[in-house]
Structure 1
Amino acid sequence: MRRPVHRLAMAAAVMTAVTAGVLPASPAGAESRPQSPAGAESRQLVGTWSTASDRLTPTDRLAVTIGGQTVRMVARISIGGSGLRVRLSNVFGRKPVTFKNVHLGLQAYGAELVTKSNRPLTFARRKWITVQPGQAIWSDPLEEKISGRQDVVVSAYIPTAVEEVTGHDRAYATTYLSTPGDHAAEETAESFTGTSTQWYFLDRVAVTTGGGAGSVVALGDSITDGTGQGSDANRRWTDYLYQRFGRVPAAKRMGVLNVGIAGNRVLQPGVGPSALSRFKRDVLSQPGVRTIVVLEGINDISRGEYTSAKPLIDAYKKMIKLAHAKKLRILGGTLTPFYGYSTWTEEREEIRQQVNVWIRTNKAFDAVIDFDKAVRDPGFPAQLAAPYDHGDHIHLSDAGRRRLAYTVRLSQLV
């Protein structure tokens, strides 16, 4: 059950879109960063929430054709600020998608919004936008401030059917689907009779902050995506991480962005594009990104036919080079155990150990986060410690995901 919101983080007065810094739709391969308003050099746009997108089709888990209805999606932001913007993506679409009457509010419970919190979003000062295939677009900013760790709700009316939706399959969050028609401005839940556990089109939220704030981007697979948690639980290891940031002085907080995809691999496409191929789009183009945490590679090992760690190591080196070219810090997370999982073999375990030795000793990453050491069984390091095992011997329990978050030293991320 979600905790009801008892106070507004946005002013109840009507929010007026700031027209400075309006962005055109951006190509899929381009860096899509909104710019701070003119005269605000001491302030910058920082990502406060993100997800990694892929193409959703009717063959995917719970995927449906979207259109002729309103989609209402919930995202828990990490850092607060003003000038909030959302990004809608058609990166994986093959036809244009039109969005009308997009709104942003605060969640009360389920599809119901806090009274008088729902505000219209504009795109280049228009109430509608058509996003071409392969593109994404940011909304104009809202003026009022919003505090961090809020459940914001984006409602968008999609007038025509979209069969190939750009979205995120395993949101572990409830999305609400309306009866036919435009219900985006409504704050009640009556029209939202259907649900899904996917995010559609929405892939980023950013705010304007001061004091040199930045964001940390977590690149990964199901361990980062949050497999094992309940729907609407917000118990990804990155959720626990931004909870930690909430207890430090505001000037030291960072946005925490999760771009994990369950089933994703570093080297080969499969569930989503490979991590290496999506690195520029999902990581480097995030607004305000300062630090990157890489925790990915176990699917390459557990499902691949590699005979050594070299292919993975070479991929990590490419990511490091790309990050350093942007003057960003990049941290390497050691790969966690999977003994007892259906695809475990001694040969694959040896490759995992080779990868972890390289991460720990090569000093190619700016710092190392030893996730493996944190959650392995001290008496049998090839397997997860029982309290951290979700039950399938590869995914983590809530305690395991929390343990990952507390393994990160916040000073490593600044």
Structure 2
Amino acid sequence: MRRPVHRLAMAVLVMTGVMAGVLPLSPAAAESRHLVGTWSAASDRLTVDDRLLAPIGGQTIRMVARTSVGGSGLRIRLSNVFGVVPVTFKSVHLGLQAYGAEIVGKTNRPLTFGGRAWVTIRPGQAVWSDALPGKISGRQDVVISAYVPTTVEQVTGHDRAYATTYLSTPGNHAAGESGEAFTTTSLQWYFLDRIAVTADGGIGSVVALGDSITDGTGQGNDANRRWTDYLYQRVGQLPAKKRVGVLNVGIAGNRVLYTGVGPSALSRFKRDALSQPGVRTIVVLEGINDISRGEYTSAKPLIEAYKKMIKLAHARKLRILGGTLTPFYGYSTWTEEREEIRQEVNAWIRTGKAFDGVIDFDKAVRDPGYPAQLAAAYDHGDHIHLSDAGRRRLAYTVRLSHL
């Protein structure tokens, strides 16, 4: 569906800077402004799904991401952290989505990197773009188009975007507003892992570290119904000065202690959580995969890992909140022994006083009559992942004053 014309027109004015004609900031005000994350996705080395012709190269990638908090001077970060060869981007543009791969007229603008229209990123590195003049609002669907001229076989990206990415026929189509050249689709994000804006000094970001429950398993594609999306719907209703960026760094299948589907949460904690621009608070909701797929005989390994995360966060003077692990009775790997470990972990999170605050996700979505299982309304159907109502319930369990 097309968006209402008046909303598109407003977005065009903001992106082109016409509405950004505010008075120059005083030196004191300028100093108080800082970079704040407005969108993020945790990266890994991508696998190839059956909808994508691999490898990437000689074509343009067009991705859609929804901002959370608004601000000025938008920047994106492209990552080659898991690559094995340098990756060159000859042309990168950012515009506003009209629908599908089509971009709202006159919003598609080139991004530069150190003043250049191109950038080469070495393996293991990530690079921020220069700031794009003008303002961008929160909850805005931005489109990033990047021309990759040479073949890249090992791509850094996010596997389960639950968002459509558009891949072009051969050639550089980054500057175009039409979607006609983008004939193939994928459900992965490529190279893009962060978007940030400049905002007032009092505005920060909250990072949600997790697994598939945070990543959004169970939602429809392009639905933006992760629990973090619902959280920002709440945050977005606050006065502008009290809003925060909400950054989702969940990886479906991820574990706290074991590197398998993505690096372990403990090993990626610094990169995906602590180094986010403007981060003030981290929410940890992860560990159910360690329990449901592991051979642990107690909660001790997970508790020790949480303690390490807490120590790292406190060393940066950041707030870290612990989310209790949600039920999974009825799932194929549930056993009484694993349920005992989950209960032990949750008891420690609730009473251990190690986290700066507790978000009792377990209590929010469990069946009151049988607490080992999800309430029927919150169960996506496999007895471990959440329905839209369940993910929304998680978001409304968070106390905004704790962020």
User: 1:7 is aligned with what amino acid?
Assistant: A
Counterpart contact for 1:173–1:197, Cα < 8 Å: yes
TM-score by length of 2: 0.95
* TM-superposed deviation, 1:14: 6.2
- Gaps (5+ residues) in structure 2? 18-26
Any idea what SS the aligned residue of 1:270 has? Answer: coil
Counterpart contact for 1:62–1:197, Cα < 8 Å: no
Counterpart contact for 1:108–1:114, Cα < 8 Å: yes
Q: Does 1:109 align with 2:99?
A: yes
1:7 aligned residue: 9
* TM-superposed deviation, 1:3: 4.3
Counterpart contact for 2:52–2:185, Cα < 8 Å: no
* TM-superposed deviation, 1:119: 0.5
Question: CA, structure 1 residues 101+171, in 2 after alignment: closer, same or farther (shift >3 Å)?
Answer: same
Among candidates 379, 392, 396, match of residue 382 of structure 2: 392
Question: CA, structure 1 residues 235+208, in 2 after alignment: closer, same or farther (shift >3 Å)?
Answer: same
Distance 2:166 2:10 in 1: 22
Question: CA, structure 1 residues 66+116, in 2 after alignment: closer, same or farther (shift >3 Å)?
Answer: same
Question: CA, structure 1 residues 12+294, in 2 after alignment: closer, same or farther (shift >3 Å)?
Answer: closer
Distance 1:45 1:220 in 2: 24
What does the per-residue CA deviation read over 1:324-361, in whole Å, with 9 as the maximum and x for residues that have no partner? 00000000000000000000000000000000000000
Counterpart contact for 1:2–1:110, Cα < 8 Å: no
Distance 2:204 2:310 in 1: 19
Any idea what SS the aligned residue of 2:39 has? Answer: strand
User: 2:291 is aligned with what amino acid?
Assistant: I
* TM-superposed deviation, 1:62: 4.9
Moved over 4 A (4+): 1-5, 12-15, 59-63
Q: Does 1:47 align with 2:37?
A: yes
Taking only the aligned residue pairs, the percentage that are identical comes to 82
Q: Does 1:81 align with 2:71?
A: yes
Counterpart contact for 2:320–2:355, Cα < 8 Å: yes
TM-score by length of 1: 0.92
Distance 1:62 1:386 in 2: 35
In the TM superposition, what are the counterparts of 1:167-316 in structure 2 within 5 Å?
Answer: 167-316=157-306
Among candidates 304, 318, 325, match of residue 328 of structure 1: 318
What does the per-residue CA deviation read over 1:172-206, in whole Å, with 9 as the maximum and x for residues that have no partner? 00000001000000001111111000000000000
User: 2:8 is aligned with what amino acid?
Assistant: H
Counterpart contact for 2:14–2:136, Cα < 8 Å: no
What does the per-residue CA deviation read over 1:136-172, in whole Å, with 9 as the maximum and x for residues that have no partner? 0000001101111000000000000111000000000
Counterpart contact for 1:44–1:212, Cα < 8 Å: no
1:403 aligned residue: 393
More moved, 3-12 vs 253-262 = 3-12
Give the root-mean-square deviation of aligned CA atoms. Answer: 1.7
In the TM superposition, what are the counterparts of 1:70-149 in structure 2 within 5 Å?
Answer: 70-149=60-139
Question: CA, structure 1 residues 252+38, in 2 after alignment: closer, same or farther (shift >3 Å)?
Answer: closer
* Larger helix share, 1 or 2: 2
